[in-house]
């Protein structure tokens, strides 16, 4: 296998899952191919590697990160737990079900820090262009070493695209927006609610970003939050200070007009209008072209590019499941590259893709979406030796989570769930989420211990 070369683009959770999959095979005594992972940022973790920057980075590359200060997991951590590296193994004590970003970042790194994965990653390196030679059956990657300002190329037998798809904003136009006097930004550039304190803000969109940025701005002191939906409202019972209205039609100065006749003045507009799958390094014939959905077309098993299966994509689906889904994909991709898993003919693959697309088209409710992605992962898990976990129970937890959000959008993060990996029931967090204004790892993990220690000191002092 040593003369087989594998290139991975991106060291976010998906790219790291691929490195971990090979590490697991190596631990079983198998000879693994030569692997090189290219990461344009200075560190790994993808979205979880928070950047205060917006626009471009220090080498002029577009900023990848869309996460923000005070971001807490928006789903129970029990739904994304790695089945080969539990939260218990990492934190050594039960933690709550909805950790803040730095805590999840710590968890992702824990698993990979134990290996020599860093040696396989070239940081500050952007994959600039990919081509494929039909005769040699090899990919040529053109790479930019950003730090040293050097461009070079290398050849690979297999290519994994793990570059994520929540980075390039979808930015619609609304008449008159160019004359809006206040801040106009996309969720991709939102870095925290502080700047919107005491302001009246308008958020366009009705999905996770709109919901979470809206709630965060409310929590951190915005005067009012208005969410404008195109297709369906989020539809939960909003607290005073947040409301949902139909689609915006146009602006007149700082006044927004909506298609139900409502009009209102705003200080700022945040477009929570989603992202584009964008692969500026891939030529037309190798590029995945899709909207954000649960089963992108042309990917067999949601992984193998049907026209050329040596090219694989990880994590390109819309995501209920995240880290554990990327793992199940990476394990199957690994087995294909190590000749332990064979894929059928192109015709058979197309039939299989079509079956899934048809199922996807018939989904109605959010519960259907959860069941669909659960079935997809069940199929992948049967194909490799990634440790099995109780997917039916995870699906139930997702449904409970959806109900919890419907019940109270401000308190759902205070709920606890049980791990399907270890059976551990999550701890209740020391502070209710609405009162917790500090998202640091230090405070999250140790504030209660510190308080206990302080109480002990006080008690001892009193006794003396
Ligand atoms: P990414 O995390 O996007 O990583 C892709 C990596 O590829 C990046 O490091 C990037 O720098 C690199 N890259 C891209 N292009 C190139 C190139 N040309 N050359 C070299 N490197 C390149 N999921 C959850 O489970 N829970 C959450 O609470 C949650 N919150 C989220 C909040 C926001 C605002 C967003 C946008 C997403 C959130 N997600 C959440 C989903 C998130 O997409 C996944 O958790 C996960 O980060 C996806 O991993 P990935 O590796 O596929 O992509
Ligand atoms: P998304 O789920 O793709 O949703 C895009 C939204 O934009 C939809 O509501 C869509 O409306 C709307 N939209 C698109 N074009 C529009 C237009 N021209 N006019 C009006 N509305 C338009 O994207 P997202 O909400 O940014 O979520 C992306 C990812 O980030 C998700 O995986 C999510 O889990 C993650 N995230 C997590 C957190 C967290 O708390 N941890 C926070 C934010 C985001 P239609 O329904 O009409 O298409
Ligand atoms: Mg299996």
Residue-wise pLDDT tens for the chain (464 aa)? 768 999 999 999 999 999 999 999 999 999 999 999 999 999 999 999 999 999 999 999 999 999 999 999 999 999 999 999 999 999 999 999 999 999 999 999 999 999 999 999 999 999 999 999 999 999 999 999 999 999 999 999 999 999 999 999 999 999 999 999 999 999 999 999 999 999 999 999 999 999 999 999 999 999 999 999 999 999 999 999 999 999 999 999 999 999 999 999 999 999 999 999 999 999 999 999 999 999 999 999 999 999 999 999 999 999 999 999 999 999 999 999 999 999 999 999 999 999 999 999 999 999 999 999 999 999 999 999 999 999 999 999 999 999 999 999 999 999 999 999 999 999 999 999 999 999 999 999 998 776 666 555 555 555 54
CA atoms of 136 and 157, how far apart (whole Å): 9
Q: What is the pLDDT of residue 18?
A: 98
CA atoms of 328 and 464, how far apart (whole Å): 58
Distance 47 CA to ligand 1 centre (A): 4
Distance 119 CA to ligand 1 centre (A): 21
Q: Give the chain's largest Cα–Cα span.
A: 84
Q: What is the pLDDT of residue 454?
A: 56
Supply the pTM of this predicted model: 0.96
Q: What is the pLDDT of residue 268?
A: 98
Of 164, 230, 402, which is best to mutate to test ligand 2, by the most ligand atoms within 8 angstroms of its C-beta? 230
Distance 271 CA to ligand 2 centre (A): 9
Q: What is the pLDDT of residue 361?
A: 97
**CB of 169 closer than 8 Å to CB of 188:** yes
In the three-class reduction of DSSP (H, G, I as helix; E, B as strand; rest coil), residue 452 is classed as: helix
Atom from ligand 1 closest to the CA of residue 72: 28
CA atoms of 118 and 174, how far apart (whole Å): 45
Ligand 2 contacts CB of residue 274 (under 6 A): yes
Quick one: residue 412, left, alpha or beta (phi over 0 = left, psi -120 to 50 = alpha)?
Answer: alpha
The domain limits of the chain are 5-167+276-405, 177-271
Q: Token digits for 376?
A: 């997809």
Distance 98 CA to ligand 3 centre (A): 28
Superfamily (CATH H level) for 5-167+276-405: FAD/NAD(P)-binding domain (3.50.50.60)
Pick the CATH number of 177-271 from 3.40.630.30, 3.40.140.10, 3.30.365.10, 3.50.50.60: 3.50.50.60
Alpha-carbon Rg of the chain, whole angstroms? Answer: 23
Ligand 2 contacts CB of residue 172 (under 6 A): yes
Residues with CB under 5 A from ligand 3 (ion): 381
Q: Reading across the β-sheet that carries 138-145, which strands appear in turn?
A: 125-133, 138-145, 150-156
Instruction: Compute how many other C-beta atoms are within 10 angstroms of the C-beta atom of residue 301.
Output: 22
Do 5-167+276-405 and 177-271 agree at the fold level? yes
If 0-12 CB within 10 Å is exposed, 13-18 middle and 19+ buried, where does residue 311 land?
A: buried
In degrees rounded to 5, what are phi and psi of residue 326?
-60, -40
What is the DSSP secondary-structure string of 38-58?
E-SSSSS-GGGS--S--SB-T
């Amino acid at each position: 296998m040593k003369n087989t070369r594998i290139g991975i683009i991106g060291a976010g959770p998906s790219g790291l899952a691929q490195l971990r999959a090979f590490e697991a095979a190596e631990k079983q005594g198998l000879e693994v191919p030569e692997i090189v992972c290219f990461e344009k940022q200075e560190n790994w973790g993808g979205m979880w590697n928070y950047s205060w920057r917006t626009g471009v980075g220090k080498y002029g590359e577009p900023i990848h990160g869309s996460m923000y200060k005070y971001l807490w997991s928006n789903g129970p951590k029990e739904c994304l737990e790695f089945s080969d590296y539990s939260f218990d193994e990492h934190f050594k004590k039960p933690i709550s079900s909805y950790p803040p970003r730095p805590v999840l970042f710590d968890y992702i790194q824990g698993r990979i820090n134990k290996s020599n994965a860093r040696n396989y990653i070239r940081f500050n390196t952007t994959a600039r262009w990919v081509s494929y030679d039909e005769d040699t059956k090899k990919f040529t990657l053109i790479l930019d070493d950003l730090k040293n300002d050097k461009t070079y190329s290398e050849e690979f037998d297999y290519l994994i695209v793990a570059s994520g798809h929540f980075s390039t904003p979808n930015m619609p136009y609304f008449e008159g927006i160019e004359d809006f006097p206040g801040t106009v930004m996309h969720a991709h550039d939102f870095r925290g609610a502080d700047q919107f304190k005491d302001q009246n803000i308008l958020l366009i969109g009705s999905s996770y970003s709109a919901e979470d940025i809206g709630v965060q701005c409310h929590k951190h002191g915005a005067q009012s939050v208005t969410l404008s939906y195109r297709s369906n409202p989020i539809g939960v019972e909003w607290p005073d200070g947040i409301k949902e209205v139909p689609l915006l039609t146009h602006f007149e100065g700082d006044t927004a007009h909506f298609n139900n006749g409502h009009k209102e003045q705003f200080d700022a507009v945040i477009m929570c209008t989603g992202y584009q799958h964008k692969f500026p390094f891939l030529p037309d014939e190798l590029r995945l072209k899709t909207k954000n959905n649960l089963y992108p077309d042309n990917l067999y098993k949601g992984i193998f590019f049907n026209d050329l299966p040596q090219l694989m994509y990880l994590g390109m689906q819309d995501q209920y499941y995240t880290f554990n889904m990327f793992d199940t994909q990476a394990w199957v991709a690994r087995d294909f590259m190590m000749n332990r898993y064979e894929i059928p003919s192109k015709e058979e693959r197309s039939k299989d893709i079509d079956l899934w697309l048809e199922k996807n088209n018939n989904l109605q409710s959010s519960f259907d979406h959860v069941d669909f992605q659960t079935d997809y992962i069940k199929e992948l898990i049967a194909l490799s030796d990634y440790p099995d976990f109780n997917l039916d129970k995870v699906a139930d937890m997702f449904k409970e989570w959806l109900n919890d959000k419907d019940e109270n959008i401000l308190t759902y993060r205070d709920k606890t769930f049980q791990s399907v990996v270890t059976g551990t029931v999550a701890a209740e967090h020391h502070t209710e989420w609405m009162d917790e204004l500090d998202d640091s790892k230090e405070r999250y993990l140790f504030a209660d211990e510190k308080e206990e220690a302080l109480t002990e000191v006080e008690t001892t002092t009193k006794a003396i």
